[in-house]
Amino acid sequence: MKSIIVLGAGLVGSAIAIDLQKKYKVTSADINQKNLNYLKSNYNINTIEIDFNNEDALSETISVYDLVISAVPGFLGYKTLERVIRSAKNVVDISFFPEDAFELDKLAKEYKVTAVVDCGVAPGMSNLICGYHNNLMNVLNFECYVGGLPKLRILPFQYKAPFSPVDVIEEYTRPARIRENGKILSKPALSEREYLYFDNIGTLEAFNTDGLRTLLKTTQIPNMKEKTLRYPGHIDIILLLRECGFLSEKEIDFNGNKIIPLQFTSKILFPQWKLNKNDEEFTVMRIIIEGIENQKEVKYIYNLFDYYDINTGISSMARTTGYTATAVSNFILEGKFEEKGVLPPELLSKNSELFNFIFQYLEERKIFYERKKIEK
């Protein structure tokens, strides 16, 4: 039986381990013993307590596994991926680190490693869908709107973090790269507010975030943007915090003590944003692709609405993110995909068998992407 180690036992990492333990020998590794105890007590999952900053311990730990899945927070992601590659292990990564993954492409090829990065919902499925259509038609415009939101709207934030809160804060501060008329532009995070209506939800507000990532390098689509969705009113609250300096990483003096405002703010916000195990939430995504296909103007619209699984207690964001990664992991472990190097999902879409396999795999887990085609 093939063996897998999942680095990270948070909401998404745990969902990945639980899904894969049905078919493979799975080990979950984390520094959080409480999360590990839950997995070990309730599922056929081995556990290892480890500090991912200890590179020697990490290399030794992963050495005996057939596949590594990295579900660590973004600030640990790049160094962790580099260490996994240097250990010559195939890896599927959902850490969504801010660094350029292609910096490790040469290293991955040198070590003959398949390293699939950004393998979640967005980035992830959004990349896969974009790449698929970009291979078949002349795409002129790509838009992705995505968010994970709680069912229960509690003021003032109306928000719970379905993944690492540290990474959420970074979405609100890191400039967003988009492409307009063939040129890559940098826009402030939280900028260019839009309102969109969704069935079963109502109106949500969208704002620029830096989610295009590898698509800016792997495609030449002239117009591209990615926006995050929140309940109306969320943007103004975060803008107030940001403009008043509460999200600043610049050290300040407070009564003779040196503090970093972002660390202080995070300490206050994270307990309020914590998504507890039984908190009901949903994931919503809309992808719009416009261009020329068979000499006709066409528009494709993909809609995803996925809800918290009451039966398993697994969050929607964990499902939609984690099961994309487990689908790809299955394909690799079955020996059906052996390309080497750093590979974001849009490059996987060239393999039509893999593309169809992922959608089928998700549908088996009750995750459905509705597609509509409009010919102009």
* Euclidean distance between CA atoms 213 and 243, whole angstroms: 25
Note the pLDDT tens digit of each residue in 253-285. Answer: 988 889 999 888 988 888 888 887 778 999 999
278 with 293, same domain: the answer is yes
Tell me the one-letter amino acid at 198. F
Of 261, 278, 307, the last residue of a domain is 307
302 with 230, same domain: the answer is yes
CATH at residue 335: 3.40.50.720
Residues of the chain with pLDDT under 50: none
Give yes or no for a contact between 7 and 68, defined as CB atoms under 8 angstroms apart: yes
Across 7-21, b (16+ Cβ under 10 Å) vs e yields bbbbbbbbbbbbbbb
pLDDT of residue 153: 93
Identify whether 375 is part of a domain. no
pLDDT of residue 255: 87
301 with 326, same domain: the answer is no
pTM score, whole prediction: 0.92
Identify whether 231 is part of a domain. yes
Of 278, 307, 336, the last residue of a domain is 307
Identify whether 332 is part of a domain. yes
Identify whether 284 is part of a domain. yes
- Owning domain of residue 258: 125-307
* Euclidean distance between CA atoms 244 and 224, whole angstroms: 31
103 with 131, same domain: the answer is no
pLDDT of residue 232: 97
Identify whether 376 is part of a domain. no
63 with 132, same domain: the answer is no
DSSP-based three-state secondary structure for 77:
helix
Note the pLDDT tens digit of each residue in 72-101. Answer: 988 899 999 999 999 999 999 999 998 999
Phi and psi at 375, nearest 5°, equal -95, 130
pLDDT of residue 276: 77
94 with 152, same domain: the answer is no
pLDDT of residue 164: 64
Domain count, the chain: 2
Identify whether 326 is part of a domain. yes
pLDDT of residue 310: 87
8 with 151, same domain: the answer is no
What DSSP state is assigned to residue 137? S
156 with 273, same domain: the answer is yes
CATH at residue 286: 3.30.360.10
363 with 295, same domain: the answer is no
pLDDT of residue 162: 67
* Euclidean distance between CA atoms 10 and 36, whole angstroms: 9
349 with 302, same domain: the answer is no
pLDDT of residue 102: 97
131 with 274, same domain: the answer is yes
